[in-house]
Amino acid sequence: RRLNVRVNIELLSVSNPVHKKDLAVRLTDDTDPFFLYNLVISEEDFQSLKSQQGLLVDFSAFPQKFIDLLQQCIQEQNKDIPRFLLQLVSSAPALDHTPVSLNVVETNPFKHLTHLSLKFLPGTDAEIKKFLANCLKCLKEDKLMLEEKLKKTEEDLTRQLNYTQQSLSEKSRELDKLKNEWTSYTTALSNKHSQELTNEKERALQAQTQYQQQHEQQKKELENLHQKSIQQLQNRLSELEVINKDLTERRYKGDSTVRELKAKLSGLEDECQRAKQEVLSLRRENSTLDAECHEKEKLVNQLQTRVAVLEQEIKDKDQLVTRTKEVLDATQEQKVILEESTEEKQRHIEKLETTIKSLSAELLKANEIIKKLQGDLKTLMSKLKLKNTVTIQQEKLLAEKEEKLQKEQKESQEMGQCLRMKEQEVCKLQEQLESTIQKLEESKQLLKTNENVITWLNRQLSEVQMAKKLDSPASAHAGGRAAVSPLSMPDRPSFHSSGISHPISPLYAFQNFLEPTQGKNGNSQCPVSKAGTSTFFSQLLKQSRCSDPHTVPAAGHAANKENGEQLVLESKYFKKKDDSIPLRGLSQNTLNSEYLRPYLPAKAQPPPKAAGTPASAYFPG
């Protein structure tokens, strides 16, 4: 059968009574808690195992090599034909508390090679109890951690659920209100568009009649031009026929001249071939003469070199004779000097012989002293050997302690790295927490501002509608100017110049409701944030473009008649933001009004309204 087994490898150091190192290997099964096999290998046991299985590794390197073999088995376990296998072999038919051997086997087509074979003993009742107790302790700690996490997540989720339910109920109310407003606005727009369609149809019929008249005139003009061009082309054709006749005559003359020239060319080609043959014969003669000339020049050069060499040899011999004479004179002088020096050296040798005899007697005495010193040296050497054996043992102990120190230092460095990693993770989590808290606060503020705006707008709209119901007879006699009521609420204007006599819908009042609030509060602005207003007016632009295409150019033209310059909002004020609430249903005239002055850039702001100018000048139909 096939099992997934957990292998734990530990190095145990025992200092009582002698410092030893033991390798403890434990086999367990996560599914079977009573599956426990242990193996403890000391340094002496490893030496016998090394000699039995022919291992080439020391005791210090054995644990790492064993781990490498296990990792190779793990890598190969999912393959159909694994290269490395772990075999757990027992003498009994089932694993019933009998010794077991663990084999690391390498498979190949020829043979199954066992790299390592270790014998494991089954765990006693005490060992199994101890192992189970450790497992239970770990599980309890994990359980406590998970319970704490579960409580925290449940609390967070309940808070989020309550918050979302509240926001959902508020949004549903707002949606119902907006739906009611939208239905009233769509009915007003459909009536308006039907009237505009009838006007456009009349204009289109007039334009069609004009285009037909123009087409007939153009047709007549084109016919006259076509006749003139035909006459011109006929005249040109007659001229080209005359030119063609002249060219044919010239062609015939050219053919006759070509024939004469071909006859002349054939005669010249024959003469050229003869001249080529003569040139070839002359070249052959010239090549033979050149070869003879080269050979003679070579002979002359050889003779000249021989003469030069002989002259040089004569000069060299003369120089040699002069040198040999000089050398002879010098040797004779040296001979005389050497004879004198030999006589002096013989005298010196006699003196040295006498000194040697005296030194030999002294050397005999020195040899006796050296023999005594050698005996002393032998005794000292034996003492030194004893000291060396002691120092070697001490050095071994020192080396083992240094290895322990290095291992502990490595462990401390690893722990320090783990700590740094954890600290970095904590810092990142804190930053994420802070960013999420900031976003939450911003979203809350935005929600509050949006709610304030919506309530304020609803209040203003209701006030406007009430004021319009009260002042409806007064607005009928106004004649084309929008008068402002004492309560600073705008009346509905009518436009006789454009041919529209019906009153504008209540939403038109939104263009003017900002003016009374500015008059009352001085420089106090609307509770909407600047980021919200930019997205708010971009939505208005899009809606007005889709719904009322004829009012856009008129508004821009009328608002800038006096100043002679076009007022346009910059593109950054029309960017859509996800956190804003779009308010639909307002025409583009609101963008050209002076009530948006606090939210426009300096170059896009309209001029201040002159005293006494009617409201219709800034809000044209």
pLDDT of residue 521: 42
Q: Check residue 39 and report its DSSP letter.
A: E
24 SS3 class: strand
- Rounded Cα distance between 461 and 178, Å, is 13
Given a cut of 60, whether residue 600 has pLDDT beyond it is no
pLDDT of residue 95: 62
pLDDT of residue 151: 93
CB 35 within 8 A of CB 27: yes
State the number of CA atoms in the 13 A half-sphere of 25 facing the CB: 19
Backbone dihedral angles phi then psi of residue 106, each to the nearest 5 degrees: -105, 125
Q: Let me know if 587 is exposed, middle or buried by CB neighbors in 10 A (0-12, 13-18, 19+).
A: buried
Given a cut of 50, whether residue 511 has pLDDT beyond it is no
Given a cut of 70, whether residue 429 has pLDDT beyond it is yes
Closest CA to 556 of 539, 541, 543, 575: 541
Residue with the bigger pLDDT between 199 and 602: it is 199
- Rounded Cα distance between 347 and 335, Å, is 19
Among 211-215, 548-552, 567-571, the least confident range: 548-552
CB 103 within 8 A of CB 84: no
8 SS3 class: strand
598 pLDDT band (50/70/90 cuts)? very low
Given a cut of 80, whether residue 580 has pLDDT beyond it is no
pLDDT of residue 474: 53
355 pLDDT band (50/70/90 cuts)? confident
Determine which helix (DSSP H) or strand (DSSP E) holds 84, and give its type and residue range. Answer: strand 84-90
Given a cut of 50, whether residue 497 has pLDDT beyond it is no
Integer-rounded Cα radius of gyration of the chain: 60
Question: pLDDT, tens digit, for every residue of 558-567?
Answer: 334 334 434 3
pLDDT of residue 449: 92
CB 30 within 8 A of CB 6: yes
State the number of CA atoms in the 13 A half-sphere of 428 facing the CB: 6
What does the pLDDT average to over 346-364?
A: 82
What does the pLDDT average to over 30-51?
A: 87
What does the pLDDT average to over 482-510?
A: 40
216 pLDDT band (50/70/90 cuts)? confident
pLDDT of residue 601: 46
What does the pLDDT average to over 22-39?
A: 87
Lookup: tokens for 334: 């040296």
pLDDT of residue 501: 41
pLDDT of residue 147: 94
Among 93-102, 105-114, 129-138, 159-168, the least confident range: 93-102
Q: Check residue 461 and report its DSSP letter.
A: H
Question: pLDDT, tens digit, for every residue of 140-175?
Answer: 999 999 999 999 999 999 999 999 999 999 999 899
Question: pLDDT, tens digit, for every residue of 303-341?
Answer: 888 888 888 888 888 888 888 888 888 888 888 888 888
Closest CA to 456 of 527, 531, 507, 533: 527
In the beta sheet, which residues pair with residue 402? none
Mean pLDDT is highest, among 300-309, 468-477, 530-539, for: 300-309
What does the pLDDT average to over 68-95?
A: 84
CB 24 within 8 A of CB 10: yes
Percent of the chain with pLDDT over 90: 11
CB 539 within 8 A of CB 583: yes
Residue 441, CA distances (Å) to 67, 395, 405, 432, 527 in order: 54, 69, 54, 14, 17
In the beta sheet, which residues pair with residue 490? 484
Residue 47, CA distances (Å) to 40, 41, 43, 120, 271 in order: 14, 10, 6, 17, 111
Closest CA to 3 of 77, 71, 68: 77
Given a cut of 90, whether residue 508 has pLDDT beyond it is no
Would you list the DSSP string of 548-609?
Answer: -TTHHHHHHHHHTTTT-S-----GGGG---TTS-------THHHHSGGGGGGS-GGGPPPPP
pLDDT of residue 93: 65
What does the pLDDT average to over 544-552?
A: 40
State the number of CA atoms in the 13 A half-sphere of 494 facing the CB: 14
486 SS3 class: coil
Given a cut of 70, whether residue 476 has pLDDT beyond it is no
What does the pLDDT average to over 509-527?
A: 41
Give me the chain's average pLDDT, please.
Answer: 76
- Rounded Cα distance between 222 and 230, Å, is 12
pLDDT of residue 516: 41
pLDDT of residue 150: 94
- Rounded Cα distance between 435 and 433, Å, is 5
String of b and e for 544-561 (b: at least 16 CB within 10 Å)?
A: beebbeebbeebbebbee
Given a cut of 90, whether residue 363 has pLDDT beyond it is no
Question: pLDDT, tens digit, for every residue of 439-462?
Answer: 988 989 999 999 999 999 999 999
Percent of the chain with pLDDT over 70: 75
List, in order, residues 6 or more apart from 87 with CB less than 8 Å away: 102, 103, 105
Mean pLDDT is highest, among 144-153, 276-285, 289-298, 394-403, for: 144-153
- Rounded Cα distance between 519 and 350, Å, is 143
Amino acid of residue 86: L
3 pLDDT band (50/70/90 cuts)? confident
- Rounded Cα distance between 472 and 566, Å, is 35
Question: pLDDT, tens digit, for every residue of 4-28?
Answer: 889 989 888 877 667 778 888 988 8
State the number of CA atoms in the 13 A half-sphere of 8 facing the CB: 12
Residue 321, CA distances (Å) to 312, 329, 334, 398, 442 in order: 15, 13, 21, 83, 118
Given a cut of 60, whether residue 531 has pLDDT beyond it is no
Percentages helix, strand, coil for the chain (3-state, rounded to 5) are 70, 10, 20
Rounded to an integer, what is the distance from CA 542 to the centroid of its chain? 38
Given a cut of 90, whether residue 379 has pLDDT beyond it is no
Q: Which domains, ranges and CATH numbers included, belong to the chain?
A: 5-123 (2.170.210.20)
pLDDT of residue 455: 92
Instruction: Sort residue 51 into left (φ over 0), alpha (ψ -120 to 50) or beta.
Output: alpha
Strand order in the sheet with 84-90: 6-14, 20-28, 36-42, 112-122, 100-107, 84-90
